[in-house]
Structure 1
Amino acid sequence: MTENEPLGLVRLDDTDLTVAKTEDDVRGLTVVGSDGEEIGKVHALFVDADERRVRLLDVESGGLLGLGAEHRLIPVDAVVQVSDEQVTIGRSRAEIAKAPGYDPDLEELKPADDLNDLYGYYGMTPFWTPGYRYPGFPFR
């Protein structure tokens, strides 16, 4: 990967990869902000196919039976805690609501553009830059 072009991010469900330990799979868990307010549920995981690490959570909120739901991509670097019931993000619900949106049905994830904006919004070092240190997700 180059500094400007993180490649190889795929939705875990679209691969033959699996989470090493079943208990570490956070899909379906409730996501809460640092203020304790519910944000939504982990809908999908984006993994770096080259390094086989989870890089982003696709968090779904609202809607009815998946219709009209909003999606937010959250870097795993923003995760501060994972329990059996929930994933806690180190930002408030209001902050996450203002993060760049993501429509999995209409948009293809464009790493160079979308991810630079996303990591910039969260004020985090992107995983493709030199010196990046993986946070050890899922922190159990």
Structure 2
Amino acid sequence: MSERSAATLTRLGDTDQTFADPADDIRGRRVKDLDGEDLGKIDELLVDSDERRVRLLRVEHGGILGFGASASFIPVEAVRDITENVVVIDQSRQRVAEAPPYDPDLVDQDAYYQDLYGYYGYTPFWTLPYGMAPASVPPPHPRTMP
């Protein structure tokens, strides 16, 4: 088995996937750091389109009424607890604030994802060996037409 690219990440909202149980969709939930400080809210999930697994949380923070907000990507491996309204991660607010910034105009997305996983200290999902994502973040399923 060879290494594969991270370029297969897609916003969940741009795919034909959804969660079998809508309660498993954590978009819109608040994110708290390891000290209980509020980091923002999850506005999107990035999924590996090959394996249909959530790989990154896109957390929006700052701004007023959605204006001036910025976003950070956090690997799903950072998730430590999920409740009905909150997702708790194992990183500090400062650590998230200093993470490599995302630039949508990047030509080499793989380099960004490599830097991001390295920064947080997790093994990238596209390299071997890779540990499975927490069971508390179930994979989305293809949407079915009514």
TM-score computed with the length of structure 2 as normaliser = 0.86
Moved more, 24-33 or 62-71: 62-71
Which residue is equivalent to 1:93? Answer: 93
Instruction: Name the structure 2 match of 1:113.
Output: 111
Mapped contact 2:102–2:112 kept (Cα < 8 A): no
1:39 corresponds to:
39
**Percentage of identical aligned residues:** 48
| Shift of residue 66, structure 1, vs aligned partner | 2.1
Counterpart residue type for residue 25 of structure 1: D
Let me know the Cα RMSD of the aligned residues.
2.0
Bigger RCO (CA 8 Å, 6+ sep) = 2
Verify the 8 A CA contact 1:4 1:112 in the aligned structure 2. no
Whether 2:51 is the aligned partner of 1:57: answer no
**How many residues end up aligned between the 2 structures?**
138
C-alpha change, 1:115 and 1:77, in structure 2 (3 Å) is same
Q: Which runs of 5+ in 1 are unaligned?
A: none
Distance of 1:127 and 1:88 partners within structure 2? 21
Give yes or no for the alignment of 1:123 onto 2:121: yes
Task: Tell me the SS of whatever aligns to 1:117.
Answer: helix
Task: Please give the secondary structure, in 1, of the residue aligned with 2:65.
Answer: coil
Q: Is the 8 A contact 2:79 2:134 kept in 1?
A: no
Residue segments in structure 2 that go unaligned for 5+ positions in a row:
139-146
Amino acid across the alignment from 1:26: I
Q: Secondary structure at the match of 1:118?
A: helix
TM-score, normalized by length of structure 1? 0.89
Structure showing greater radius of gyration is 2
CA distance in 2, matches of 1:110, 1:19: 30
Residues 51-104 of structure 1: per-residue CA shift (max 9 Å, x gap) = 00000000000112322111000000011111101000101111111111225x
